[in-house]
């Protein structure tokens, strides 16, 4: 690989320019400038090894040039990240909610509960908001982790917690529902921690549903009057919720990455 190719590859690789088309345009522009410079140097009587040295000296360090490009395209990069984050959050949360409701409808039928009554209840709306909050927090943490070097998870969680607290205060000031934000923060952070620190899949597959099942048991027992069938139905419902969230931790980052790659090709 010649000096021209090394310089161009070094600049484009480190530039973090979001658009594939724009990266290709910059490659062509850099190559044209470098070829013109090399042609002028040959016309002045320089040898090829001298031209390579002159090229490196004239165009500077590739990483420094790349940082200049990265600064120029920082707003476009952030915009694409936000769009891919928002789109993947809505898609994953919507798909997950439909899957969970389908499972819970089957469980409701098994326990003799009216499916239409369950779907039309206030609980379904609350559950939808909870799922949206959880997916939003989970993807926010995974995305923000890429911004840090050490203690990525801890720093991302602190940042997300601060943003969530600000949203809770703002929503509370406007008398809006805020429980799903708190639930989303706790659940999203818990799921990310399990994903990071519980390495074995079989253990993760046990820990998450069991924790959600225990939460369902607690909520079932807190209901008044206490019904054995109601407690069982609540536990089963929360087990289904935990299983759905476990699947989400695997597919959500992939969906976001797919959205981002698609946007970069536009």
pLDDT digits (tens, 9 = 90+) for 206-264: 899 888 888 877 876 776 555 666 677 777 778 888 888 998 999 999 998 888 888 87
Query: pLDDT per residue over 77-99, tens digit each?
Result: 888 888 999 999 999 999 988 88
pLDDT of amino acid 239: 84
Q: State the pLDDT confidence band at 188, using cuts at 50, 70 and 90.
A: very high
Query: Could you give the CA distance from residue 177 to residue 260 in angstroms, rounded to a whole number?
Result: 31
Q: State the pLDDT confidence band at 184, using cuts at 50, 70 and 90.
A: very high
pLDDT of amino acid 99: 84
Query: pLDDT per residue over 104-147, tens digit each?
Result: 677 666 656 655 655 556 667 888 888 999 999 999 999 999 88
CA dist list (Å): 186 to 18, 54, 98, 190: 32, 57, 22, 6
pLDDT at 191 over 60: yes
Share of the chain above pLDDT 70, in %: 88
pLDDT at 7 over 90: no
Mean of per-residue pLDDT scores for the chain: 82
pLDDT of amino acid 1: 47
> How many CA atoms, within 13 angstroms, populate the side-chain half-sphere of residue 15?
25
Query: Could you give the CA distance from residue 180 to residue 186 in angstroms, rounded to a whole number?
Result: 10
Q: pTM of the entire structure?
A: 0.77
Alpha helices in 16-121 (DSSP H): 20-43, 48-59, 62-72, 74-110, 115-119
pLDDT at 70 over 60: yes
- For 87, list phi and psi in degrees, rounded to 5: -65, -45
User: 48-57: b or e for each residue (b if 16 or more CB lie within 10 Å)?
Assistant: eeebbebbee
Q: State the pLDDT confidence band at 161, using cuts at 50, 70 and 90.
A: very high
């Amino acid at each position: 690989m010649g000096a021209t190719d090394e310089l161009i590859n070094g600049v484009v690789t480190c530039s973090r320019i979001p658009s594939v088309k724009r990266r290709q345009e910059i490659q062509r522009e850099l190559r044209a400038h470098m070829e013109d410079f090399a042609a002028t140097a040959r016309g002045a009587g320089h040898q090829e090894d001298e031209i390579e040295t002159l090229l490196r000296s004239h165009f500077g360090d590739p990483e420094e040039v790349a940082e200049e490009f990265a600064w120029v395209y920082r707003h476009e990069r952030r915009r694409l990240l936000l769009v891919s984050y928002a789109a993947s959050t809505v898609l994953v949360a919507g798909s997950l909610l439909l899957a969970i409701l389908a499972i819970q409808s089957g469980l409701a039928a098994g326990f003799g509960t009216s499916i239409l009554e369950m779907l039309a209840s206030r609980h379904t709306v609350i559950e939808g908001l909870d799922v949206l909050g959880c997916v939003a927090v989970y993807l926010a943490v995974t995305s923000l982790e890429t911004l840090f070097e050490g203690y990525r998870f801890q720093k991302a969680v602190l940042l997300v917690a601060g943003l969530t607290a600000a949203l809770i205060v703002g929503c509370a000031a406007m008398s809006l529902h805020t429980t799903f934000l708190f639930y989303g923060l706790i659940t999203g952070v818990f799921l990310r921690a399990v994903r990071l620190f519980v390495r074995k899949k079989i253990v993760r597959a046990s820990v998450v549903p069991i924790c959600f099942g225990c939460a369902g048991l607690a909520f079932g027992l807190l209901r008044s009057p206490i019904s054995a069938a109601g407690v069982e139905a609540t536990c089963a419902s929360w087990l289904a919720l935990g299983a759905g969230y476990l699947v989400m931790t695997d597919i959500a980052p992939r969906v976001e990455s797919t959205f981002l790659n698609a946007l970069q090709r536009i």
